[in-house]
Amino acid sequence: MTKLVIAVLLLVLGEYFRLLPDRLEQREGAKREWKDHRRIRRREQRHLHFMHVANRALRVDRMLHLVSDAASCGEALTSVLEELCRYHGAAMGRIWQSIRATDPVREVSRYDAALHSGETENAEDSLNELHPLAAEALRRNEPQTIRFPARTASDAGLASQVCIPIWVQQQRFAIVLAFIQEPHDLDAVVADIASLADAIRPALFR
């Protein structure tokens, strides 16, 4: 019985050591594959980062070009409104200006995607007046995202809107973009426009 057990153990050990090189090779191969995957992933991430930086530089340059010949800050912002609406897929866009705290805000410029695309039907324009939350954002100089309840969105044709204030010396402006279908990340839209606004702000001081 003891000899039989020893013989079985020797067979098992022999098979183990016979297969050991293959197993080690498989393990090393898996390690190499994992390292190659990580290296490719890092390369793709660097490429995407460089593309993002390059695209953003082109957008900033485009915005600066649009405002360079403007006669006023309001006119400069008007020239970039359509660009922002098209880039972010907004159905409507408005620029509002606050002259004095005691006076009502006035509309400086507007953009309606349906009118520019030649469509006859358009969502009910709920931007004829500045939304109270957007007005508060303009007063406090803080960006604001506004999501409408389903019933309200159905009535007005809008799902959400964003308001990005731009203060230039004593002038108070607000860029408002409204969406029929809410973007995947509304906060990212706000961050993008706010960042672009900071980039072109020096050109607005005139």
Q: What is the pLDDT along the chain (206 residues), one digit of tens a residue?
A: 576 666 667 676 676 667 667 777 777 777 778 877 888 888 888 877 778 778 778 887 888 887 787 777 777 888 888 889 999 999 889 988 887 767 778 888 888 877 655 544 445 455 566 778 788 888 888 898 888 876 554 445 788 889 999 888 778 888 899 998 877 788 899 999 888 888 888 777 65
Distance between CA 95 and CA 54 in Å, rounded? 28
Q: 114 Cβ partners below 8 Å, 6+ apart? A: 91, 120, 121, 122, 123
DSSP structural state of residue 15: H
Alpha helices by DSSP H, listed for 69-131, are 73-88, 113-117
Residue 177 is predicted with a pLDDT of 92
Residue 120 is predicted with a pLDDT of 41
Q: Which residues of 65-84 are buried (b: 16+ CB within 10 A; e: fewer)?
A: ebbeebeebbebbbbbbbbb
Residue 66 is predicted with a pLDDT of 77
pTM (2 d.p.): 0.67
**What's the token pair of residue 72?**
């006023």
